[in-house]
Amino acid sequence: MSAFPVLAVTSGEPAGIGPDICLDLPAAELPCRCVVLGDIQLLKARAQALGKAVQIIEYRPDYTPAQDELEVLHVPLAAPCEAGQLNTANAAYVLQLLDRAYEGIEAGEFAAMVTAPLHKGIINDAGVPFSGHTEYLAEKSGTGQVAMMLAGGGLRVALVTTHLPLKDVSAAIDRPLVESVARILAQELRRKFGIARPNILVTGLNPHAGEGGHLGMEEIEVITPAIENLRAEGMDIHGPYPADTLFQPFMLKGADAVLAMYHDQGLPVLKYASFGKGVNITLGLPFVRTSVDHGTALTLAGSGKADSGSLIVAVDTALAMAQHSQNAV
């Protein structure tokens, strides 16, 4: 058996670019063994259509693959798939990929999980309530609170709230939530990134971090008390800072991560700095899970124009995190 760590890579929505970018894994020459979970005939057909000279073989745990071989743990499609054309019949297939990867994690077969993008809408259209990878894996593993962090371009940005309408964000942010997410962030930076004492900067919610209460009271009533309590626990955490000025080199110098209050407050800056090379990381799970920083890109599927850069970074990041986690035990 290969001495390299074995990582599960789910190929995601079959009509999207997930299968396309997975085909680039052998050429990346990563120091691990990537096992792609997906329909092997779909991957072979997509490789042929794209003219990619990759040797696709069925995964065998006791086999050591050659450098140009792509190992596929075959999970059959429920219905034929055409690039760019969503089909609710294949929604269950996408979830089966996650289920099989999780089973492999639980059994010690895989050291980490990397996920290509899926399409939340088509899963919900199929009648399966689904809000995302993060929530699905948290429920499956019996994990309580988890947190979302994106990394890239020299930045790490975690979020207090994730996929909420903007009108609901303020009501969702309370002191227990801010403290819980901050603790998860600090713990995971220690355990999975090897940072002994993480330095965390926190944004405010409102413009100018509330302008002393003139532009909102969340900073005074929720965020500042949470930070003070965390500092009293010994955490190296500071803020709240106005989000429009925090993301500057002189402010970020020495910081290990930023904790932002909502999705479109923290992520536009990070994606501007690293789009196509960033990685989405779920913090708080009992295993390592990373993902790409983009969606299914249906219009690019099967075109040969999809960029696999984010997937390669996601695998590389998952490998490093898994190794830090092993050393931390």
For every residue of 161-199, DSSP letters joined together read S-S--HHHHHHH--HHHHHHHHHHHHHHHHHHH--SS-E
Q: Is residue 2's pLDDT more than 80?
A: no
Residue-range domain boundaries for the chain: 1-143+285-328, 146-275
User: What is d(CA 98, CA 110) in angstroms, rounded to the nearest whole number?
Assistant: 13
Options 3.30.420.40, 3.40.718.10, 3.30.70.20, 3.60.15.10; CATH for 146-275 is: 3.40.718.10
Percentage of residues of the chain with pLDDT beyond 90:
88
Q: 1-143+285-328 with 146-275: one CATH topology?
A: yes
Q: Which of 110, 128, 127, 130 is nearest to 35 (CA)?
A: 110
Q: Is residue 118's pLDDT more than 50?
A: yes
Q: Which of 193, 191, 131 is nearest to 156 (CA)?
A: 193
**DSSP-derived 3-state class of residue 87:** coil
User: What is d(CA 285, CA 21) in angstroms, rounded to the nearest whole number?
Assistant: 25
Q: Is residue 250's pLDDT more than 90?
A: yes
| pLDDT at 3 (0 to 100) | 66
Q: Which of 26, 7, 40, 189 is nearest to 114 (CA)?
A: 7
Q: Which residues are annotated as a binding site for a divalent metal cation?
A: 163, 208, 263
Asked if the 1-143+285-328 domain carries CATH number 3.40.718.10, the reply is yes
Prediction pTM value: 0.91
Q: Which residues are annotated as a binding site?
A: 133-134, 163, 208, 263, 271, 280, 289
Q: Is residue 284's pLDDT more than 70?
A: yes
Q: Which residues are annotated as a binding site for substrate?
A: 133-134, 271, 280, 289
